[in-house]
Structure 1
Amino acid sequence: MVCIVRVIGQIYRKGVIFCLFICIGLFIADKTNPLPLPNISSSRVVLAEDGTPLWRFTNQKGVWRYPVTIQQVSPYYIQALLAYEDRWFYHHPGINPVALGRAFGQDIYHHHIVSGGSTLSMQVARIIDPCPHTYLGKIGQIFRALQLEWHLNKEQILTIYLNHVSYGGMVEGIAAASWTYLGKPPDQLTKGEAALLAVLPQAPSRLRPDRYPERAKKARDKVLERLAQFKVWSKRDIEEIKGENVLLSERQIPQLAPLLARRLSLQNKDAVIHSTINIDMQRHLEELLENWKNRLPPHNSAAILVVDSATMQVKAYLGSVDLQDKQRFGYVDMVTAIRSPGSILKPFLYGLAMDEGLIHSESLLQDVPRQSGHYRPEDFSSSFVGPVSVSQALRRSLNLPAVQVLEVYGARKFYGKLTGAGIGLKLPQMVEPNLAIILGGIGTSLENVVTAYSAFARKGRVAMLRFKNNGSMSERPLLSKGSAWVIRKILEGESPLDSNFDRQIFQQDHLAWKTGTSYGYRDAWAVGVGRHHIMGVWIGRPDGTPVAGQYGIASATPLLFQVYDMVRNQASQTFSYSIKDHEPATVSVAQICWPSGQILPDRDQNCRQKRTAWIINHIVPPTLEMADQPLGTGISQTVWINERGFQVSSDCPGAIEKKIDLWPIALEPWLPLTEQRHNRLPTQDLSCPSLSMMESSSLSIIGVKNGDHLQLPPSNMHPLTLKLSALGGTKKKWWFLNGYLIQETDGNQSFDHVFHNHGKQQLTVMDEMGKTALAEFTLN
């Protein structure tokens, strides 16, 4: 008996020593061969707001993976996976000795593999450290499985499997497989779909359900039988699922908003990037733009941006007409590209001028030829309207009235206001803010334009765009609530009397919109502010080549209205709220008179035309006079008249003071004869003439300015011809060129004169009162 006890003791000691050596050996092996844990974030996916993948970026091996946690996967899938692959997963230490022994015995007996015997931990080990299908490779796999159990918990091991198990080709992980084969997130899998995806990794190529539905169905049913055997699901559910066929469409690869996905991927290092894109809107607009592709000139591209007014979340982002179209530079993101905005910035100038008390909605402006130094702006139509209101000038996007307002407001101040509100603007190198910036002489992007127009949707405050759900709203003030509301109403085509006058043929209800065309027809813009959203459209060539006949109203506006109609149909499901369209307390309506722009009593002789205006803070600013207005030709003139109504000197007997409002002299060619100043001013009483009248009748020459340098054509076949006329003075006028009489005119009559000789020229005009105007210029 003592010998037996002694033998048992020796065996025990040797067993303990053996186990100790095994543990030491495993410890050393663990330290010298650490786990090569995979990097889940090695691939990246950009999601829409509802979790639908928009675009996927594969890792260096070309694999697409959509990282998920166990909680983001349907419990049906977890049940089917564990029942089929490893139902003792939560109980074994990484290996199942019974299953391994059975598999080894079957292998020896049948001389081929009958059953695997691998646990999920062993499968994960093979995923992270592939090994050959030999006995030695199996030993290495067992070691890695044990390592996994030492260092990770069961949930972490299962998470690695869920994210890295291969479904064939470039698809890895349950989430990527669910979206690829079923077009849905993994947490929405039905029992039948869960059973199918649980078995696919065994032979993903041979069992592809979109190519071999019958094979996939048989494999799925094997999983169902295992679930029935272990009573995981009810027999009734399993029988119903077995009756379902496996019918799937072709693999679905996420291919929406590629340029936004590229942008977010460069800005974020997260494996999963949650964007604010509305998947249905993005898909529909991409289909719309694809249909527009053939309507665009060759090499032209287009960009569309749609933003929720309440949250400033970007709901649709189309940076080009087609990413794969190299001829149209589809890889260039025109949402962020710096381009000339044309007239897009005009609404902000008028709004800021209103806040400064310079204008109201019906202030009289002058659409007449202008020249400031070497800068000579023109309207898009190359014609001039004459007297226009602020609202008309804005709706018709006239250039000269905008230049007139900017000249008074200040180009540097205007530039500072916009950039201070966070609107990105780029001036040409070594150029200071000048009058040209209101007509497109500055650079900006579609993104910045849409950001700027948020001021008309957010009561004057400019809010930054949001591409991701995280982060807080960032906004800065630009306009007052009153001016923002008035400008939006003007852009909607409404008037204070709600008469909808001057509404253009393309006007849409409840859409405030504006177009822009850059110099040389390079860029066509259209931006709109609706009840729920802000939209921007750009069309042009990304390389900046001019396209004849391409301009905002003809090219970009029709696309804008189609986008608006599509977006409006989804507004109730997509956008957060509708703009409360209440008139701000600071806005009121007033009856003003032209030409003074002031409120005058009824039947006042100085009210030559009555108009209904929106005013802010009850301020009624007078009509703006141009900076180069000739002296003595202002709007308000004070004269003295006698008892017969003739104009006399102030010291004449019985002289009575009278105030007369006259139209700006530059508008005379567009006024009816009865409104021209020589017919509005009283006739002179020659017995006691008014010196102030002679002073007030200053002359100015139209058609050429003092100091001009003009270029003669190279051939006498086409001599230089100038159209000349005079403003102011009395009716009869005589014209002299270099001292020689060349023409006699009556009133504001114009005439054409042909110039042949080079050198300095002196042009003089004289009226009946002896008043003269002089222009000295050079012909080269």
Structure 2
Amino acid sequence: MGNRRSKLVLFSSLVLVAGILAYAYLINQRALLIAPAPTPILYDRSGAFLSQIGHSDDASGRVDYGYWPLEQLPERVVKATLALEDRRFFEHLGVDPYAVGRAAWQNLGAVRRRSGASTIAMQVARMQQPESRTFVHKILEAGTGVLLTLRYGRDAVLAQYLRLAPYGNGSHGIAHAARLYFDKPVADLSWAEIALLSAIPQSPTRMNPLRPDGLRRAIQRGHQMLDILLKQKIIGADEAEIAHRQLNDVQMPDLPRRPDALHLILRYHDLMGAGQIVPTSASAPLIHTTIDLALQADVTGLARQYLDGWHSAGAQQVGVIVVSRQTGEVLAQVGSSSYYGSHAGAYDYTRTQRSPGSTLKPFIYALAFERGVLKPTDMLLDLPEGASGIGNADREFLGPMLPRQALANSRNVPATNLLRSVGLETTFRFLRDLGLHDLETPADHFGLSMAIGSLPTRLDSLVRAYGALANDGQLRDLRWAREQPQHQSIRVISLDTARLITSFLSDPQARLPSFHRYGSLEYPFPVAIKTGTSQGYRDAWAMAYSEKVIVGVWVGRGDDGTMNRMTGAGSAARLVHAIIDRVHGNKPGDLADAHFPTPPDRKPVEVCVVNGQANDNTCSQTLVEWVKPEEMPNVVLSGPQPNANARSVPINAIAARNENYPLTNADGSSPQIHLAISTPARNSQIWRNPEQPAAFNRLALKADVEPHVPQIVWYVDGQPFAVTDPDQPVFWPIQSGEHRFQIRLPYRNETSAVIPIYVQ
């Protein structure tokens, strides 16, 4: 019998020891002060609430807001909190025996009024690891509270409570609640405001101060707290009277609501996560963004309004960025039509790689000017020859054009030829320096189609790069917040080139005939604009800058599908126009006598669009070009000339040139001479420009002759047209209909193949 009793005692002791060890292990695991990262609050550029970025609970998916640290314990808040929550806080070690005894007595039914026994330390344990309110969990909280107090000290535990205590409406911690409800630091709270806030943690839902019934309960409990402070002689009678009166008159603000801009908030989340935006104060992590909330709302509304009108053409999504031209500050961003909407709305299309269409062309022209490959008065050929299989969006060719016209008309062939002249690798590196890509892929992978959109890029990258054109060649990062460290801007192109490209993109006359006047590309004040449309109408772009802003718009589909002939000029440019009108406050009929700054070392010259020469009042179609003194073009000597190096020739005039023509080799044999026409291409469809007088519609004729001979004869429709050096092009006045071209040698039988074309 005694042996059995001994075994029972031993077993019970082992169970007790095991239980104590398990209990000690559990509370040791819990007794840590978990310090969540501060929750940033975002304000717009005028100080209006934008959002706060909370912490996601991976287990529940819940997002909790408002964890702010305290650099030092606010004395008045401490006194008020302890008066309500734990009067003997500095007398016990985490568990108040008196409060436990009182609660047990009340719970046994001796009195009808119930009260809890949770101390500040126990509440910290519960807030750090929320669990159901059972007896076992209460025991764990008690042990954890004692160990927290012993391990960290009372001040640290109290600071943790004031950081984690729930103050309703997603706000945790007194510092955050002071900012959320009263927009002030916790040290500036009045006794009335302290009383109100200190009342909330007991029951944040019942005492929600933003609801009338909750505010009434919080005020009532706040009055009780003030009476306790007066009784404890923490405040004087005069202070108490003022605080009671202020508490009765307290007015709570409307709860700040996050705007409909989730993509924008997520961008700030990512920028802070990457360390690109750092709050100036760890204890009060306020972020002063560059966003203009009013403009953000207007741009969002405009984007949705215009996209609704394009749904029938297959457009499903839109992305917009608006940037201050002077400062590079982002004023508005729309990532998609709706984050929670259909058609892949959760994607941020300001950060998505898409084909940029023709929006890279201004940088190709800029690089050509920088490398000395191009001058403003050079003639670029928009012809099938040399196009490497690349055509124009309208499937037509406009012939010889000034660079101003070629870029403003967004012609593909001149841009492709410029890219070839500058070099694929050189251009590829230049576009990388502009931040338009970060690829290590060889430039040959994209080839000449890089000029028309084969190199993918992002809307935000394009806006940043266009900022270099808008700001005299200086490239700088987009600025998203006052707290964002600013890097020095870098010069990527010269001031001269930047202003020259700007003059091209802002010249409505130069856009003819591809873009008609007074459409979506024209403004009553200076605006430089470039549109782009990718292959298959998958992407429509418009990039523009005015005196005030840089605006970028993309329109497309989340599934990368095709749209029904949705061009940049017909869609994205219209939205850009509406946004710029909103920024400038422009109304119909407004006109502004203004212009972009001109290149300082260039002079305006009236240039004939046919040949790039200065006009002597005989050329009927001209453009004003900005030319350096050393690039000053010659004056047109007389009316329009079909060709400067050749003339129409009667057949018997060939004989007079024959004495210099080599009919035989040195050994007396006849040389084998290869004749071919390189331009125009066989069966070309040529479009006659209706905007130009007939005399100025010309087609360049080019020959390929091996070996070189002094002269060749051009035949058009079987009739001799011109005698010229084979290395010099001939310009044929375009005439409607079908035509045949051939070259021959004087007094020789060699001829080229006949090249048929059709002119509309």
Structure 1 stretch 72-81 or stretch 223-232: which is displaced more? 72-81
Instruction: Report the counterpart of residue 206 of structure 1 in structure 2.
Output: 206
Letter in 2 for 1:66: G
CA 541–559 in structure 1, closer or farther in 2 if over 3 Å, else same: same
Letter in 2 for 1:445: R
Task: List per-residue Cα deviations over 1:573-599 (Å, max 9, x = no partner).
Answer: xxxxxx997556444445656666466
1:730-745 pair list within 5 angstroms: 733-734=717-718
SS across alignment from 1:513: strand
**For structure 2, which runs of at least 5 residues remain unmatched after alignment?**
1-19, 276-281, 587-593, 663-674, 685-698, 703-712, 721-731
Task: List per-residue Cα deviations over 1:131-182 (Å, max 9, x = no partner).
Answer: 77678866654443343333335554344224433457976545776788x5
Give the C-alpha shift of residue 452 in structure 1: 1.4
For the pair 1:614 / 2:630, whether they are aligned, the reply is: no
1:263-342 pair list within 5 angstroms: 264-265=269-270, 268=273, 274=287, 276=289, 278=291, 280=293, 281-297=295-311, 300-309=316-325, 312-326=328-342, 328-342=343-357
Task: List per-residue Cα deviations over 1:532-557 (Å, max 9, x = no partner).
Answer: 44321100012211101211111111
CA 30–309 in structure 1, closer or farther in 2 if over 3 Å, else same: farther
**For structure 1, which runs of at least 5 residues remain unmatched after alignment?**
1-24, 571-578, 624-658, 663-671, 709-724, 737-745, 754-761
The separation in 1 between residues aligned to 2:568 and 2:410, in whole angstroms, is: 11
The separation in 2 between residues aligned to 1:228 and 1:421, in whole angstroms, is: 66
The equivalent position to 1:415 in structure 2, one of 411, 425, 428, is 428
Letter in 2 for 1:479: I
Letter in 2 for 1:527: M
Does the 8 A contact of 2:531 with 2:543 survive in 1?
A: yes
For the pair 1:774 / 2:752, whether they are aligned, the reply is: yes
CA 66–131 in structure 1, closer or farther in 2 if over 3 Å, else same: closer
Instruction: Report the counterpart of residue 6 of structure 1 in structure 2.
Output: none
For the pair 1:365 / 2:371, whether they are aligned, the reply is: no
CA 246–409 in structure 1, closer or farther in 2 if over 3 Å, else same: closer
CA 201–287 in structure 1, closer or farther in 2 if over 3 Å, else same: farther
Letter in 2 for 1:552: G
CA 701–219 in structure 1, closer or farther in 2 if over 3 Å, else same: closer
Instruction: Report the counterpart of residue 223 of structure 1 in structure 2.
Output: 222
For the pair 1:489 / 2:503, whether they are aligned, the reply is: yes
Give the C-alpha shift of residue 611 in structure 1: 5.3
The equivalent position to 2:450 in structure 1, one of 431, 437, 457, is 437
Structure 1 stretch 463-472 or stretch 197-206: which is displaced more? 463-472
Does the 8 A contact of 1:66 with 1:173 survive in 2?
A: yes
Letter in 1 for 2:627: I
The separation in 1 between residues aligned to 2:529 and 2:99, in whole angstroms, is: 72
Does the 8 A contact of 2:539 with 2:554 survive in 1?
A: yes
Instruction: Report the counterpart of residue 33 of structure 1 in structure 2.
Output: 28
1:637-652 pair list within 5 angstroms: none
Instruction: Report the counterpart of residue 124 of structure 1 in structure 2.
Output: 124
For the pair 1:353 / 2:368, whether they are aligned, the reply is: yes
Does the 8 A contact of 1:126 with 1:141 survive in 2?
A: yes
SS across alignment from 1:538: strand
Does the 8 A contact of 1:517 with 1:525 survive in 2?
A: yes
Give the C-alpha shift of residue 302 in structure 1: 0.7
1:426-505 pair list within 5 angstroms: 431-467=444-480, 469-473=483-487, 475-493=489-507, 504-505=518-519
Give the C-alpha shift of residue 462 in structure 1: 2.5
SS across alignment from 1:338: coil
CA 590–150 in structure 1, closer or farther in 2 if over 3 Å, else same: farther
CA 264–512 in structure 1, closer or farther in 2 if over 3 Å, else same: same
Does the 8 A contact of 2:28 with 2:144 survive in 1?
A: no
Does the 8 A contact of 1:512 with 1:530 survive in 2?
A: yes
CA 768–184 in structure 1, closer or farther in 2 if over 3 Å, else same: farther
Does the 8 A contact of 2:533 with 2:540 survive in 1?
A: yes
Instruction: Report the counterpart of residue 239 of structure 1 in structure 2.
Output: 245
Structure 1 stretch 265-274 or stretch 123-132: which is displaced more? 265-274
Task: List per-residue Cα deviations over 1:382-412 (Å, max 9, x = no partner).
Answer: 3343343322332232323323433333333
Does the 8 A contact of 2:54 with 2:63 survive in 1?
A: no
Structure 1 stretch 136-145 or stretch 390-399: which is displaced more? 136-145
For the pair 1:257 / 2:227, whether they are aligned, the reply is: no
CA 735–773 in structure 1, closer or farther in 2 if over 3 Å, else same: farther
For the pair 1:403 / 2:416, whether they are aligned, the reply is: yes
CA 768–34 in structure 1, closer or farther in 2 if over 3 Å, else same: closer
Letter in 2 for 1:775: A
For the pair 1:557 / 2:557, whether they are aligned, the reply is: no
The separation in 2 between residues aligned to 1:53 and 1:291, in whole angstroms, is: 25
Task: List per-residue Cα deviations over 1:275-317 (Å, max 9, x = no partner).
Answer: 8452614444334434444233156101112334455454433
The separation in 2 between residues aligned to 1:151 and 1:313, in whole angstroms, is: 48
Does the 8 A contact of 2:199 with 2:218 survive in 1?
A: yes
SS across alignment from 1:516: strand
Instruction: Report the counterpart of residue 645 of structure 1 in structure 2.
Output: none
CA 415–726 in structure 1, closer or farther in 2 if over 3 Å, else same: closer
For the pair 1:344 / 2:380, whether they are aligned, the reply is: no
Letter in 2 for 1:368: L
SS across alignment from 1:556: helix
The separation in 1 between residues aligned to 2:91 and 2:584, in whole angstroms, is: 56
Count of residues paired in the alignment: 651
Relative to the length of structure 2, the TM-score reads: 0.70
The separation in 2 between residues aligned to 1:72 and 1:388, in whole angstroms, is: 72
Letter in 2 for 1:296: W
Does the 8 A contact of 1:80 with 1:198 survive in 2?
A: yes
Task: List per-residue Cα deviations over 1:223-251 (Å, max 9, x = no partner).
Answer: 134225524444234224314576856x8
Does the 8 A contact of 1:349 with 1:414 survive in 2?
A: yes
1:16-55 pair list within 5 angstroms: 33=28, 35-37=30-32, 39-41=34-36, 47-48=42-43, 52-53=50-51, 55=53
The separation in 1 between residues aligned to 2:306 and 2:76, in whole angstroms, is: 44
Does the 8 A contact of 2:539 with 2:555 survive in 1?
A: yes
Does the 8 A contact of 1:354 with 1:483 survive in 2?
A: yes
SS across alignment from 2:357: coil
Give the C-alpha shift of residue 351 in structure 1: 1.7
Letter in 2 for 1:366: L
The separation in 1 between residues aligned to 2:153 and 2:746, in whole angstroms, is: 106
Instruction: Report the counterpart of residue 70 of structure 1 in structure 2.
Output: 70
For the pair 1:525 / 2:533, whether they are aligned, the reply is: no
For the pair 1:424 / 2:437, whether they are aligned, the reply is: yes
Does the 8 A contact of 2:424 with 2:443 survive in 1?
A: no
Relative to the length of structure 1, the TM-score reads: 0.68
